[in-house]
Chains A and B, each alone.
Chain A
């Protein structure tokens, strides 16, 4: 099973700042199968990035994904008030699929 470890656990930033969220895999992961989700309280997760770097439909271009092998990054270039939420990375290449434990992005 591939274990995904996200860091930091909590990130405190201000609107307008740049955010970088990390996801490290216990074994090499194909970039085809690495996704990022955003979740706000009381809501279902929302797909942001798939295939490590492809933005899902309707996702603003301030969201970008990068990385390969065991290290992946979600970058939000300039934070908007609506971006403060919990973010999860997700491996879906082979069963069992796994999620990281999440990074909470909070307003400083």
Chain B
């Protein structure tokens, strides 16, 4: 059974830092692209960042570029999101998600998600 379990969310002051983790099991972690998606309270979904299966390629939303760093440890089947210079607008539930494979006719999107971890940025 595929499982993704986020941790690390908490209350942090503006300007502070936080590292989120996503422990995974039930699939061959090092063959999948992984990503983070967030959802501010009462708002829609916002893609934050993605990382290639090897960790060699990373992608970020403009809203977090230069402040957040995505990484992965394929030996531990774990995905990370280092968040620096946090702002009030970063307050959200952060979801870890797995991106499925591509075939000759289509490419899957985020097919498995964790339950999310809440990050609150406030003084």
Give the nearest-CB partner of A30 in chain B.
B107
How many angstroms from the CA of A56 to the CA of B116 in the assembled complex?
21
- Secondary structure call for the B interface: strand
Which of A46, A51, A53 has the largest number of chain B CB atoms within 10 A? A51
By a CB distance below 8 angstroms, the chain A residues around B61 are: 96
Q: Given A44-B95, A44-B114, are A35 and B109 also a contact pair (CB < 8 Å)?
A: yes
Interface residues of B in 4-63 (CB under 8 A from A): 37, 44-47, 50, 59-62
- In the complex, how many residues of chain B place their beta carbon closer than 8 angstroms to a beta carbon of chain A? 25
Are A97 and B50 in contact, CB atoms less than 8 angstroms apart? Answer: yes
- The size of the chain A interface, using a CB distance under 8 A, is 29
B113 to chain A minimum Cβ distance, whole angstroms, is 4
A92 to B47, CA, bound (A): 9
Residues A45 and B107 in contact in the complex (CB < 8 Å), given A1-B62, A50-B100, A95-B50: no
Chain B residues near A46 (CB, 8 Å)?
A: 113
With a cutoff of 8 Å between Cβ atoms, the chain A residues found around residue B37 in the complex are: 45
List of 8 A-B pairs having minimum Cβ-Cβ separation, nearest first: A51-B106, A35-B109, A44-B113, A95-B59, A97-B47, A99-B45, A50-B108, A102-B44
